[in-house]
Structure 1
């Protein structure tokens, strides 16, 4: 188990909490690793990167996943080129910090971009990125994503039918799947397990996330929303899942919220 505490992002961005302190929190809660958003990494200067890597090593808990937000469905070809270069930077940075996975996205649902165009652009760009990540020893994991705060629009591949087409187009690459437990519901569908079954053989990581609503983004503390965690965990255990459960904690209750999320997932996993 690892944790991406989205509710602590503001504290880290505003220098009220350091990455080391966050890693220490995760270690103290008995997690096996911790995750970071790329927006939390302040720069790529040698001094900063080496210092941060040393702090992580001294805490004795590995960095498992870094989440990035490439936008490969942008209508402008030049911007898609920029997005690719931005992702290459994120791959290099994640590698320098010793991360295992880098979460990637298809891009935003930009007005005027057809489904066929978006699928083609996303698949082609992610395949190119995989050639780079393979060299750096980083595994890309593509997510059935919704919308980060840094985007204007929802994810182009939030609808399951689009997500599945892109996932199929990436099947013969090194890219795995980071399956988000909430985002099928966010897309307005109640077929979470059915979609998970379609891609399970490529699933390396699970974003354990919750939502209070179907058809719109409404992130809540884990276990307080609509996600059928017991059914999902039962399925994973039946399949002998041996990847990572990466808690996407969004309870907005500080460090106590992180502890509550971890306690919920542990107890629910045992019950399943």
Structure 2
């Protein structure tokens, strides 16, 4: 299992205020004993070959891999032209993923916003059509589309169309491809949607190709019943607070046992840092300890179910051997 990090705490600086660049983030992350960095589409202020090449050089110089690029397409937008633009942007992010991450790297895909005028059936049809049309390019580039059980992109007005588990499960069941399409599991998003995250993992474990790790705690005076009554529709409830992984509501021991039992020895990307890099470092250290306890200290990358699906479809293995010299923090 390899560990990457995502700059949740710096996202506004990176993509809203533009007071920080992707190169600044790569340099800032050098202090973390992680193996890779997960990037976000909004970090790419330009997508020219020269710019992407500079990002690749910066990652290599810092000793990081790039296992996943987070994109947030809105495939449920009622405007056909917007849906087309979102599709084209996702294609662009897939090409950048292939350039920075190589074969097997993942591009996150979302369903889109829960636009009130779009019915469940219409939304599902649009999303399935978009993903099915992306898959030939995913096969050509040999990247994996990873659908996240998300809440809401920071630039969106409405929550995720497939936030609720029943919609999410119907969506993935309508897409047969398992070689270049799978699930990115985020346990905290399951909590926001009103689900027990470990129970939700049991439902999707056979299709998990990547994972984000974060944690949430209840604010003083809050209860799980209060949280469930919010039904996940008001966003990140004020009852939920960001915190160090392993110290919140997610049952990480059970989650790690489920992953390991299913042969998941892939990337886990930490989504933290809202309360500073000190907590991000604590989360990395927690994952490093979990790697020893639940994954036998493995720094390989091998997702058994995904490997089986690729083999059955005639694609080469994307498994990676253990790191011979794991990246150490430049302290």
TM superposition score normalised by structure 1: 0.90
Structure 2 unmatched runs, 5+: 219-226, 295-331
Count of residue pairs brought into register by the alignment: 270
Say whether 1:189 aligns with 2:195.
yes
Partners in 2 of 1:54 and 1:259 — Cα distance? 24
Residue 226 of structure 1: how far off its partner (Å)? 1.4
Q: Which residue of 1 aligns with 2:52?
A: 49
Partners in 2 of 1:219 and 1:206 — Cα distance? 20
Match of 1:154 among 159, 179, 191: 159
RMSD: 2.1
Q: Which residue of 2 aligns with 1:260?
A: 282
Distance 1:146 1:116, change over 3 A: same
Partners in 2 of 1:76 and 1:36 — Cα distance? 28
Residue 199 of structure 1: how far off its partner (Å)? 1.8
Matches within 5 A, 1:203-218: 203-212=208-217, 214=227, 215=232, 216-217=235-236, 218=240
Residue 25 of structure 1: how far off its partner (Å)? 4.7
- 8 Å contact kept, 1:230–1:269: no
Report which structure shows greater RCO (CA 8 Å, sep ≥6): 2
Partners in 2 of 1:16 and 1:261 — Cα distance? 25
- 8 Å contact kept, 2:205–2:259: no
Residue 11 of structure 1: how far off its partner (Å)? 3.7
Matches within 5 A, 1:218-257: 218=240, 220-221=242-243, 222-249=245-272, 251-257=273-279
Say whether 1:68 aligns with 2:71.
yes
Distance 1:121 1:54, change over 3 A: same
Map Cα deviations across residues 60-89 of structure 1 (whole Å, 9 max, x no partner). 211111100011111222221221111112
The alignment partner of 1:141 has SS state of strand
- 8 Å contact kept, 2:147–2:183: yes
- 8 Å contact kept, 1:26–1:33: no
TM superposition score normalised by structure 2: 0.75
Residue 16 of structure 1: how far off its partner (Å)? 5.1
Map Cα deviations across residues 145-192 of structure 1 (whole Å, 9 max, x no partner). 1112111110000000000011111232521110111112111122x2
- 8 Å contact kept, 1:180–1:207: yes
Residue 237 of structure 1: how far off its partner (Å)? 2.2
- 8 Å contact kept, 1:167–1:199: no
Residue 137 of structure 1: how far off its partner (Å)? 2.5
Q: Which residue of 1 aligns with 2:142?
A: 137
Residue 225 of structure 1: how far off its partner (Å)? 2.8
262-271 vs 199-208, which moves further: 262-271
Matches within 5 A, 1:5-154: 5-13=7-15, 14=17, 17-98=20-101, 100-154=105-159
Distance 1:22 1:185, change over 3 A: same
Partners in 1 of 2:152 and 2:203 — Cα distance? 22
